Structure 1
Amino acid sequence: MLKKILPILLALIGLGAGIGGGIVLRPDQEIVVIDPCGDVPAHDTHEAEVLEEGDDDASSEFEYVKLNNQFVVPDLDDGRVAAMVVLSLSLEAKTGAREAIYAREPKLRDAFLQVLFDHANTGGFKGAFTDSGTMNTLRTALTEIAQKTIGNQINDVLVIDIVRQDVK
């Protein structure tokens, strides 16, 4: 009988100790936000402020709007998918433009995908696709289409993440 009760008793004691330890060692809610990149914590999950040296008003001019989903672009070779490219984009926009951007996000995503497909079809994601010249060409094309779609509220398009996975 003791052999059956002992494992249950030990499990309950371990569970109680684990819960008690979790409660005692719980961090303060103010210090829970950890940014491994060392970026300045944002007031909003989609926004970060950047201050340039000697310019205290730089943060009031622009806000950064992260587009909700990644972009997946096939890289074709002789009509077959040779690789998949995944990108995360953010927009540098005039302060207060966030709602207008999110309201037109489907149209903006469609325009961005067309630019990304054109870039892939001209070989932009082959070879050294992260070369600064290639990336500047892509950023310029994305910025132009964003300004055409949203208006002059867009200052720049930022490529936050880019990954290429070859398909075998």
Structure 2
Amino acid sequence: MAEPISYQPKPPKIGPTAREELEQLLETLHGSGLLRLANDLAAGRQDIVGILFEGLNLESSRYAVQNIAALLMMLGQIPPSRFYKITSTVKDALLAAAEEPPAQKEPPGVRGLYKALKDEETWRALSPLVQGLLALGEGMRKPAPEKPISAVTGKPSDA
């Protein structure tokens, strides 16, 4: 009897090999300058890290990081739907304020102002603004916490 032949056919070449892809990637990185940038960063990493840490060690940098953290924590307490409502309302108010006012024939005077104060629609429009101003005034009267991050999280902080 004949012995079976062990023959494994080569798979057909469908696309570039991994080595060809790697060579193409190297050429692309070299052509775009990213390879040189990566080499420069790797060679000067001690200098870059030193400059970065010197910049972060400034008091103003620490304040900036703490302020950003406090802002993000405050934004994290606002539900997205409510935040959207606030930001879209502020956008609409700013766009309305930037429009050209319609030409009035004459100022409303004291009587016109009195009529506006008695108008229910005017009060409905002004009510959120008044409530916001009251909340702003109340918040501004509160003393600022010494460590705002600790006030929000309840955890001790050395910052």
TM-score by length of 1: 0.28
> Greater RCO between the two (CA within 8 Å, min separation 6)?
1
Which of the pair is proportionally richer in strand?
1
Instruction: Report the structure number with the largest CA radius of gyration.
Output: 2
